[in-house]
């Protein structure tokens, strides 16, 4: 038992982080948000749908070239031939960078839907009553008949409601795990942002991080993120559905509460459209709806408890 | 990332399981919580059996895999916990192994392993709790001895201990962290008075220890004079890092029993309650993974656990309290009955966010040492 990243896994993380910084840095994120925002404040409250975010085809193909989608496709079939632990590390970085697009759906389609592995084809998937990125997709998995757009809370995740959505309980556990990995990325990022701000911002003549009320909020973000990390990585190694459900519960909590506390640490700045913080919170909320939400995972682990004693 | 065990480790597991199945039925009945001499004899007797079967040193020199297998299997089999052996096996022992001289290791470690001597921890004082470095128990050098005067409080197992890992102030003029020394105090030395303190859970789990010109040989000093704070940080990292690992397995077992109880009394049909237990299942699974993560990290960095121990300690102590709060929800009015085992366990769980550094202190440690935030105070 050596439960820590191997040298290769460390190198993969660094490589992915650098590649994503090239493909989708803070400025690209900002530009994508502004574009999606369209009319901005003028559109708000008028009932008019805000401009939908566009999925950059160039970005998608670049991700394909990086092996983002083909990561777990066997080498014999032209893929990268890596496993779930590596996929989790990559999706964590994607979550951290707020990378837009139906990443999980396209990744899961690699090998099954032509062009998905290379990033030529954008694949969306119906999940319960929702589909992310429906309009941008070339292929939609699941029954999306009668889909209606809704005004998405997350400026970078367009959403459709699907009346006849299949029950979420049919969700592939790998989709749940990769979502948890993205949440972990968010939790890690908001921890960094909160700590940075707490060190830099001064009030009453000292950094706000010198106030325990602030420092302890930051420490709480870290504790949730690191506990979630252990759960997510372990689930990637075992691929056990109960481990995955546990990882999901911990990672959702780490991301959503982490983003909220990070917002609190930022004060008024945290409430602005300018700040990066709300984007993390909104994305975390979107991901928390996937695969039946956390309720599904809690029920599953309650049932597992019963069988553990039997 | 590897969570699998080697064939040798699996072999260890199989032999341990078989040994536990053979040995546990022959154990004497457990003494009552208030029977200290009985508890000492019981806990040492268990350690002696472990020693004879070759398992005594598992906390110290085994691979992380073997250690965790040991904790898992003993807990699953319902074997006794370290009990009165806690301080000796899980912090004084590892500290002496890391910081002591050869002679000190030879003197103190074997009796801990053989289940012959009990240690207690004399760190906290009436005016030095969270601010441990403010401790005032004084030690003067007199020939080959230190002469110690002062008092300690909250000293668990003091009544039945042979030795005490004692922090004393040897240089009152130095800044508070630089005048502390770590001594091994023989508990039968003249001038020591132990006064048991009852806890809110009923029995006396800890005590006040008064020291009146107690002579401690200089040879009992671990580390250099006035270097005791550094030695203390080593001790505390063991305490927070790995000492609670076995309890996570125990909590998982308790949670499974709670599910059985809920099914029996019908509370299981309440989805909110069921989901609460499902969440706790996720929590304790994650804490076990965090243990594996921390133990692996400690191995990679030379054996001493890092500040990650505070992350675990903080999260675990709250999870444990939530477990027993959930138990109270399952039991309903029965949660007021001290004869239901959940009730005293719930009371004991209240200590977890205080002992071994309060939750507030752990938050501050994480903020300062991991996140690099400025020192507050
Ligand atoms: C069951 C049990 C067993 C124990 N066994 C032992 C033992 O064997 N040996 C031993 O040496 N000690 C032992 N202790 C003592 C334990 O380590 C102390 O109780 C603990 O460190 C807190 O110190 P205190 O009780 O003096 O509380 P205080 O330090 O007075 O704290 C009181 C409150 O103030 C808060 N506080 C204090 N300082 C700060 C700060 N800087 N920032 C924010 N909040 C702060 C604390 O979090 C707490 O909520 C035991 C305690 C318990 C409960």
Q: Read off the pLDDT of residues B42-97 as tens digits, 9 standing for 90 and up.
A: 999 999 999 999 999 888 878 888 988 998 999 889 999 889 999 999 889 989 99
pTM over 0.90: yes
So what's the pLDDT on residue A48?
Answer: 40
Q: Which residue of chain B is at minimal alpha-carbon distance from A193?
A: B371
| CB contact set of A299 (below 8 Å; sequence gap of 6+) | B271, B274, B275, B278
Query: A84 and A145 share a domain?
Result: yes
Is A1 a domain residue? no
How far apart CA A112 and CA A120 sit, in angstroms, is 13
The answer, yes or no, to whether ipTM is higher than 0.90 is yes
So what's the pLDDT on residue B67?
Answer: 87
Mean pLDDT confidence for A153-170 = 80
Question: If contacts are CB pairs under 8 Å, which of residues 47-66 in chain B contact chain A?
Answer: 63-65
Question: A241 is in which domain, residue-wise?
Answer: 173-309
So what's the pLDDT on residue B300?
Answer: 82
Nearest to A218 among B257, B279, B367 (CB): B367
Which domains, from first to last, does chain B contain?
7-113 (1.10.540), 119-225 (2.40.110.10), 244-370 (1.20.140.10)
Which ligand 1 atom is nearest residue B364's CA? 42
Mean pLDDT confidence for B22-38 = 93
* Comparison of pLDDT for A167 and A106, the residue scoring more: A106
Query: A283 and A184 share a domain?
Result: yes
Give φ, ψ of B194 to 5 degrees. Answer: -110, 125
Instruction: Tell me what the pLDDT averaged over chain A comes to.
Output: 92
- Listing DSSP states for B18-76 in one string gives HHHHHHGGGSPPPPPTT-HHHHHHHHHHHHHHHHHTT-TTHHHHS-HHHHHHHHHHHHH
Mean pLDDT confidence for B9-18 = 96
Give me the CATH number covering residue A26.
1.10.540.10
- Cβ-defined contact of A1 to B292 (cutoff 8 Å): yes
Which ligand 1 atom is nearest residue B157's CA? 8
Query: A45 and A82 share a domain?
Result: yes
Tokens coding B188 = 């039968």
Give me the CATH number covering residue A181.
1.20.140.10
| Distance, CA of A129 to chain centre | 19
Query: A220 and A90 share a domain?
Result: no
Query: A193 and A293 share a domain?
Result: yes
Element housing B183 (H / E): strand B180-186
Query: A22 and A139 share a domain?
Result: yes
- Evaluate if residue B375 carries a pLDDT over 80: yes
The pLDDT tens digits of the residues spanning B200-251 come to: 988 888 999 999 999 999 999 999 999 999 988 877 776 666 677 888 999 9
Mean pLDDT confidence for A116-135 = 95
Give yes or no for B277 touching A (CB within 8 A): yes
So what's the pLDDT on residue B65?
Answer: 86
Is A166 a domain residue? no
Query: A135 and A234 share a domain?
Result: no
Looking only at the bridges linking them, the beta strands covering B221-222 and A123-127 are unpaired
- Distinct helix (H) and strand (E) counts, chain A: 10, 7
Residue that is written with structure tokens 């441990």 in the block: B132
Per the structure, how many domains does chain A have?
A: 2
Query: A127 and A177 share a domain?
Result: no
Crossing angle between the packed helical segments A57-66 and A7-23, to the nearest 10 degrees: 160
Residue A118 per-residue DSSP state: T
Nearest CA to A5 among B296, B371, B6? B296
How far apart CA B28 and CA B72 sit, in angstroms, is 22
Span of A126-130, A280-284, B50-54, B109-113 with lowest mean pLDDT: A126-130
| CB contact set of B109 (below 8 Å; sequence gap of 6+) | B93, B96, B97
Nearest to B275 among A199, A302, A304 (CB): A302
Query: A44 and A95 share a domain?
Result: yes
So what's the pLDDT on residue A45?
Answer: 47
- Cβ-defined contact of A230 to B292 (cutoff 8 Å): yes
How far apart CA A120 and CA B104 sit, in angstroms, is 69
Give yes or no for A38 touching B (CB within 8 A): no
Q: Which residue of chain A is at minimal alpha-carbon distance from B316?
A: A227
- Cβ-defined contact of B5 to A1 (cutoff 8 Å): yes
pLDDT cut 90: percent of chain B above it? 81
Element housing A220 (H / E): helix A212-238
Is A167 a domain residue? no
Catalytic residue status for B159: no
Query: A186 and A149 share a domain?
Result: no
- Evaluate if residue A307 carries a pLDDT over 80: no
Question: If contacts are CB pairs under 8 Å, which of residues 227-286 in chain A contact chain B?
Answer: 227-231, 233-234, 236-238, 242-243, 245-247, 249-250
So what's the pLDDT on residue B377?
Answer: 56
The pLDDT tens digits of the residues spanning A185-219 come to: 999 999 999 999 999 999 999 999 999 999 999 99
Residue that is written with structure tokens 């601010």 in the block: B131
* Burial class of residue A255 (count of CB atoms within 10 Å of its CB; 0-12, 13-18, 19+): buried
- Cβ-defined contact of A309 to B259 (cutoff 8 Å): yes
Give φ, ψ of B113 to 5 degrees. Answer: -65, -40
Is A115 a domain residue? yes
Query: A155 and A179 share a domain?
Result: no
| CB contact set of A17 (below 8 Å; sequence gap of 6+) | A93, A96, A97
Query: A105 and A180 share a domain?
Result: no
């Amino acid at each position: 038992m050596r439960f820590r990243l191997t040298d290769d896994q460390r190198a993969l993380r660094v490589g992915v982080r650098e590649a994503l910084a090239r493909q989708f840095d803070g400025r690209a994120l900002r530009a994508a948000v502004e574009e999606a925002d369209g009319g901005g404040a003028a559109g708000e409250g008028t009932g008019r749908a805000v401009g939908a975010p566009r999925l950059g085809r160039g970005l998608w193909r670049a991700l394909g070239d990086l092996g983002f989608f083909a990561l777990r496709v066997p080498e014999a079939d032209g893929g990268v031939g890596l496993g779930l632990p590596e996929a989790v590390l990559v999706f964590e970085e994607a979550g951290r960078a707020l990378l837009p697009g139906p990443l999980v759906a396209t990744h899961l389609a690699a090998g099954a839907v032509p062009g998905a592995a290379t990033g030529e084809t954008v694949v969306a998937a119906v999940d319960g009553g929702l589909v992310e990125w429906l309009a941008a997709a070339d292929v939609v998995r699941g029954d999306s008949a009668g889909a209606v757009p809704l005004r998405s809370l997350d400026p970078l995740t367009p959403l459709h409601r699907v009346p006849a959505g299949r029950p979420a309980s049919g969700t592939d556990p790998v989709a749940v795990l990769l979502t948890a990995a993205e949440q972990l990325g968010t939790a890690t990022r908001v921890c960094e942002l909160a700590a940075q701000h707490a060190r830099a911002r001064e009030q009453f003549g000292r950094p706000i991080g010198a106030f325990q009320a602030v420092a302890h909020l930051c420490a709480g973000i870290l504790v949730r993120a690191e506990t979630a990390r252990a759960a997510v990585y372990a689930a990637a190694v075992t691929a056990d559905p109960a481990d995955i459900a546990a990882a999901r519960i911990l990672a959702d909590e780490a991301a959503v509460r982490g983003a909220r506390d990070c917002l609190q640490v930022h004060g008024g700045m945290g409430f602005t459209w300018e700040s990066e913080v709300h984007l993390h919170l909104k994305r975390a909320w979107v991901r928390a709806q996937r695969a039946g939400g956390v309720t599904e995972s809690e029920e599953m682990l309650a049932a597992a408890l019963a069988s553990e004693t039997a | 990332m590897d969570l699998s065990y080697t064939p040798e480790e699996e072999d260890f597991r199989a032999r341990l399981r078989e040994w536990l199945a053979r040995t546990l039925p022959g154990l004497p009945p457990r003494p009552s919580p208030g029977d200290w001499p009985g508890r000492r004899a019981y806990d040492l007797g268990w350690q002696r059996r472990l020693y004879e079967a070759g398992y005594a040193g598992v906390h110290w020199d085994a691979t992380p895999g073997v250690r965790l297998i040991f904790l898992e299997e003993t807990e699953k089999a319902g074997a006794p916990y370290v009990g009165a052996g806690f301080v000796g096996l899980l912090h004084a022992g590892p500290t002496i192994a890391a910081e002591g001289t050869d002679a000190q290791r030879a003197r103190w470690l074997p009796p801990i392993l053989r289940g012959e001597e009990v240690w207690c921890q004399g760190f906290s004082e009436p005016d030095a709790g969270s601010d441990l470095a403010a401790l005032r128990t004084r030690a003067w050098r007199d020939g080959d001895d230190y002469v110690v005067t002062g008092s300690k409080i909250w000293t668990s197992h003091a009544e039945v201990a042979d030795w005490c890992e004692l922090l004393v102030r040897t240089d009152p003029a130095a800044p508070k962290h630089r005048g502390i020394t770590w001594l091994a105090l023989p508990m039968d030395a003249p001038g020591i008075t132990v006064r048991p303190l009852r806890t809110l859970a009923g029995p006396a789990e800890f005590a006040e220890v008064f020291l009146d010109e107690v002579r401690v040989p200089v040879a009992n000093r671990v580390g250099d004079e006035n270097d005791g704070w550094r030695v203390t940080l080593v001790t505390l990292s063991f305490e927070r890092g790995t000492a609670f690992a076995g309890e996570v397995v125990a909590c998982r077992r308790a949670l499974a029993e709670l599910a059985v109880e809920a099914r029996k009394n019908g509370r299981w049909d309440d989805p909110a309650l069921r989901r609460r237990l499902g969440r706790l299942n996720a929590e304790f699974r994650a804490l076990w993974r965090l243990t594996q993560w921390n133990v692996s990290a400690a191995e990679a960095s030379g054996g001493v656990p890092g500040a990650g121990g505070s992350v675990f300690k903080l999260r675990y102590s709250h999870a444990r309290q939530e477990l027993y709060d959930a138990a109270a929800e399952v039991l309903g009015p029965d949660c007021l009955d001290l004869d239901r085992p959940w009730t005293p366990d719930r009371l004991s769980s209240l200590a977890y966010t205080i002992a071994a550094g309060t939750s507030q202190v752990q938050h501050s440690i994480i903020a300062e040492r991991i996140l690099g935030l400025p020192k507050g105070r």
